[in-house]
Amino acid sequence: MDNSHEFYMKKALIEARRASSEDEVPVGAIVVYNNIVIAKSYNLCIKLCDPTAHAEMQVITAACGYLNSRYLDKCILYTTLEPCSMCSGAMYWSKLGHLVYGAKDEKRGFSLFKNHLFHPKTKITKGVLQYECTTLLTDFFKKKRKLKEK
């Protein structure tokens, strides 16, 4: 596996930890263009009171703004969690060049859908720093459950 994927996924993990510290579901994402991070964000659904405010949606919007283009065909998007159908759909419209993700989402991840939600040209790499990305999420929900039980 390309080591640079781990380098960038660590940056996405920093974003995910920010989400966690703000009591948001810890998912982080970044967009890389020509080896430069042009967008970074994390899940902001609670803060923005907006169910569409997933990390991936925000970095797609931000990266398109940065590039002044509706297409991210020359970009790599790193996200700590397998994207859902909404975010995969956004990646389709952006004609994303390459998606790299960490943890698997067994409840709402795109791989649950038989039909391919992505643009045919989008390359997909999965499982980068999967353990770290998954642990961040499972720890978060464990803490949530414990607080509920109290």
Ramachandran angles phi, psi of 70, nearest 5°: -85, 0
Say whether residue 69 binds a second copy (CB under 8 A). Answer: yes
Q: Where are the alpha helices (DSSP H) in the chain?
A: 3-21, 55-67, 85-93, 130-149
CA pair distance 32, 44, nearest whole angstrom: 20
Structure token digits, residue 81:
């969690």
The minimum distance between CB 25 and a second copy, in angstroms, equals 11
The verdict on whether 56 is a catalytic residue reads: yes
Residue 139, Cβ neighbours under 10 Å: how many? 12
Q: Near a second copy by CB under 8 A, which window of 4-12, 61-69, 99-107, 136-144?
A: 61-69
Q: Near a second copy by CB under 8 A, which window of 34-42, 54-62, 120-128, 132-140?
A: 54-62
The minimum distance between CB 91 and a second copy, in angstroms, equals 9
Say whether residue 50 binds a second copy (CB under 8 A). Answer: yes
3-state helix, strand, coil in the chain (%, to 5): 45, 20, 40
Say whether residue 73 binds a second copy (CB under 8 A). Answer: no
The minimum distance between CB 40 and a second copy, in angstroms, equals 17
Say whether residue 34 binds a second copy (CB under 8 A). Answer: no
Say whether residue 74 binds a second copy (CB under 8 A). Answer: no
Residues sharing a CB contact under 8 Å with residue 54, sequence separation 6 or more, in sequence order = 27, 43, 45, 83, 84, 86, 87
Site map (CB under 8 A) of a second copy, residues 81-100, x = contact: ---xxxxxxx-xxx------
Q: Using alpha carbons, list the distances in angstroms from residue 91 to 21, 54, 86, 138, 143.
A: 27, 13, 9, 26, 32
Binding site for a second copy (CB under 8 A): 45-46, 49-52, 57, 60-61, 64-65, 68-71, 84-90, 92-94, 108, 112-115, 117
